[in-house]
Amino acid sequence: MTGVDAGALGLNLAVSAGAALAVMLLTFAVATVKGVHRIVDVAWGLAFTAVAVVTWFLSAGYGDDGRRIAVVQATAVWGLRLSAHIARRGRGHGEDPRYARMLARAPGSPTLYALRTVYLLQGALVWLVSLPVQAAAYLPRPLDVLALLGLAVWAVGLFFEAVGDHQLARFKADPAHRGRVMDRGLWSWTRHPNYFGDFLVWWGLYLTACATWQTAALTVVSPLVMSGLLIRGSGKRLLEAHMAQRPGYAAYTARTSGFFPRPPRRRASGTVAR
């Protein structure tokens, strides 16, 4: 890879894998004691932040400082905000129904099944999705137009995710909205502003690693995997399957984009809150 110290980046990849694994194993231990595995969702953003911190320290002296600061801080800001939001949202609640259903069908020990299929899998995904952050931090080239474009895309994504989460939280906090669908603000333009924001965040971070064709080719798997998870995997698809039979949701889907934002087809009120 032109300009990138392959040995140093390889060490970073190994240590960051260990950091992601350590976060997930610690979370698994806490969740097992508490008997609530939903806290793994909080650990998702924390694990990305751990990878960013490791990358920040190990890339010193190898990558351009401006690029290092930009990509590592962008990752940490995204990860810490997401973890804090999920922690607040889940406070006082029991087990997530998704994990309860999954563990009820687990072959053998539910605890070991959760370790394999939730914690270890998520740790591996954190490492894979964070490849652009790690590679970008080892690029010796200053921020260029493509990297700046990537940071702009990241910022738009963070806006969609943070504002969408805030709007939904405020809507659900009002007792008058109980039993209604959230179809206001960003939620009138897309049924998943938070997932669309995630999509932009990781394509934006990928652009910061595209200063060479080698790093671009090495890391493109990351935004592709994240996009697949958000659209076809555990994100949009599962949530909509869960909501499909609820009154009023069909009308909401008929007028609102499923992912990429666009003006709503018409204004109408639904009947179910998420």
More confident position, 246 or 124: 124
- Report pLDDT for 240: 61
Lookup: tokens for 183: 């179809």
Residue with token string 């490492």: 127
- Per DSSP, the three-state class of 95 is coil
Residue with token string 């889907």: 253
Cα dist from 162 to 2, 19, 148, 189, whole Å: 36, 26, 21, 15
- Per DSSP, the three-state class of 109 is coil
- Report pLDDT for 1: 66
The pTM (predicted TM-score) of the whole model is 0.90
For the stretch 156-185, pLDDT in tens is: 999 999 999 999 999 888 887 777 778 889
Residue 108 pLDDT level (bands cut at 50, 70, 90): confident
On the question of pLDDT at 270 being above 50, the answer is no
Structure letter (DSSP) for residue 235? T
For the stretch 230-245, pLDDT in tens is: 988 765 555 666 565 6
